[in-house]
Amino acid sequence: MFDKNLFKYYVARAGKTLYETAAFLRISEATLHRKMNGTSDFTRDEIQRLKEFLSLSDDESMQVFFATKLTQTQVKEAQ
C-alpha cells in the first residue's frame, strides 16, 4: 500500500513540488495524482527514479511504496 502523506512529506523535504516530481517522471500531474491515490500503480522504474530524486533511503522508500501499516487518515477513510 502506498503512503501518500509520507510521499508528500519526502517531496517537501527534498524541496520539490508535485509538479516537479511529475515532470521528472515525464508524466502529467494528473497521472501522478492517480498513482498517489491508488488508481494507477508506480512502475519499478518510477520507484527507483523517485528514490534517487527524493534521496530516499531503502527503508524510507519501503515505507512509502510498500507501507503495511494504515495511517490514521486511512483508518478514518475506511470507516
Q: What angle do CA 3, 54, 12 make, to 5 degrees?
A: 70
Domains of the chain: 4-78 (1.10.260)
CA 22 – CA 50 distance, rounded (Å): 10
This prediction's pTM: 0.82
For 6-57, write each residue's pLDDT tens digit. Answer: 999 999 999 999 999 999 999 999 999 999 999 999 999 999 999 999 999 9
